[in-house]
Structure 1
């Protein structure tokens, strides 16, 4: 992923990327994205980067020895502080729909931002919404007040976030609509596909925004749109 593509991906929303991947593939049916509605700390936030994955839990206290838990927590932070950039934290809460432990609050988000990550994606809980650092969006499953007994269970293993399987190192695009994984096979043609998609959509949008827009002009625009789109 070169700098030009990175800049482009930061400028568009996740639905645009989802549609553009279908343009690259030349067919409908791309489905490597999250399901369901997620919460986001910054409605305008866009995450694009390589996943640094982990799993946590918080409902029950850890059963392992405290020194084991501490060592794994520090190994987690080392995982997040290293690796290819741009990167984002992708953390699965094993408590699932019952999650109560807000791993993502003011301290943890500030630490991760300091490591150079662009944000966090989780099915778990976030809090401290008024105190999260600027420029570090968190996309989460829930908002809640407590950290519970939150502790790290796994580092660098594949995770599942709202139905989406994400491996460590996968290229992820996410915003308030959800997240998707951009496959290596999509990279080469993605910039051209995004431009084609935006140009195609403008056929209808430009027509609909004109003062003289009516059914006849819509039918003409839609016919041209249908001929161009995937």
Structure 2
């Protein structure tokens, strides 16, 4: 893995929305056009919030059935989870897969856990599980979730770290995540420092077409010429 991005580099990525990041990745790693991002519907608690960019703290939960482990084991696992989130570092993004079928039977995320995880330095969570306590969740802690649910049922941590799949996006622990109201995408470490420049190139190409549309006398032939000109923009 390449060296982690510094605060300034992360802030520059956070100035882009997630669709723009996906556009940039299509230039840098064309094969990523078909994977590496969320592809299923979700609930966004703070759609007006700026994008969150950070390194993933991954795990899995279950909520549908009573746990088979004793209370001491369950408590120790939850404590280990909290330590894992803290170790991932300030500005982490939690990515938590719900193993129940269907996901979302019980909500791991509500007033308490959003407040706790924000206190541990996390920016938010991407989960296919459910959320609750919408009016009491920690302000600014972003949630991209599968659904809403009133009860936490038996929600508890099953696995800490590893590779998970949430909303069609596969994420390994430590991956760089960019997420906003549109969804989330994994930014490969190898090209992370090139994304801002690539996004600017995409914007320059798009501007050629948008300017052509706004010009007097726009028609299909003008559009075709603009598309050709856009292809030459570097």
TM-score (norm 2): 0.89
- Alpha carbons of 1:171 and 1:27: their partners in 2 closer, same or farther (altered >3 Å)? closer
Q: How does 1:83-162 map to 2 (within 5 A)?
A: 83-162=88-167
Query: When the two structures are aligned, how many residues end up with a matched partner?
Result: 228
Output the CA distance in 2 between the equivalents of 1:112 and 1:213: 55
Output the aligned Cα RMSD. Answer: 2.0
The aligned residue for residue 29 of structure 2 is 25
**CA contact under 8 A between 1:22 and 1:30: conserved in structure 2?**
no
The residue aligned with 1:42 is: 46
1:92-132 Cα shifts (integer Å, max 9, x gaps): 11114242111111111011111111111101001112222
Alpha-carbon distance in structure 2 between the residues aligned to 1:26 and 1:227:
18
The reply to whether residue 198 of structure 1 matches residue 203 of structure 2 is yes
Alignment partner, residue 72 of structure 1: 77
| 1:157-172 map, 5 Å | 157-172=162-177
- The equivalent position to 1:177 in structure 2, one of 166, 182, 188, is 182
Aligned position for 1:14: 18
How far apart are residue 213 of structure 1 and its match? Answer: 6.0
Give CA deviations for 1:135-184 in whole Å, capped at 9, x if unaligned. Answer: 21100111111111111111112111122221110111112222211112
Residue 28 of structure 1 deviates from its aligned partner by: 7.3
Match of 1:224 in 2: 229
1:2 corresponds to which residue? 6
- CA distance, structure 2, for counterparts of residue 57 and residue 133 of structure 1: 23
Deviates more, 1:216-225 or 1:141-150: 216-225
SS at match of 1:119: strand
1:206-221 aligned within 5 A: 206-209=211-214, 212=216, 214-215=218-219, 217-221=222-226
Distance in structure 2 (CA, Å) of the matches to 1:114 and 1:3: 19
Distance 1:213 1:10, change over 3 A: farther
Q: 1:207 Cα deviation (Å)?
A: 3.8
Q: Compare 92-101 and 103-112 and name the one that shifted more.
A: 92-101
Instruction: Report if aligned partners of 1:54, 1:159 keep a CA contact under 8 Å in 2.
Output: yes
Note the C-alpha offset of 1:209: 4.4
5+ residue gaps in structure 1? none
Of residues 48-57 and 37-46 in structure 1, the stretch that sits farther from structure 2 once superposed is 37-46
Q: Which runs of 5+ in 2 are unaligned?
A: none
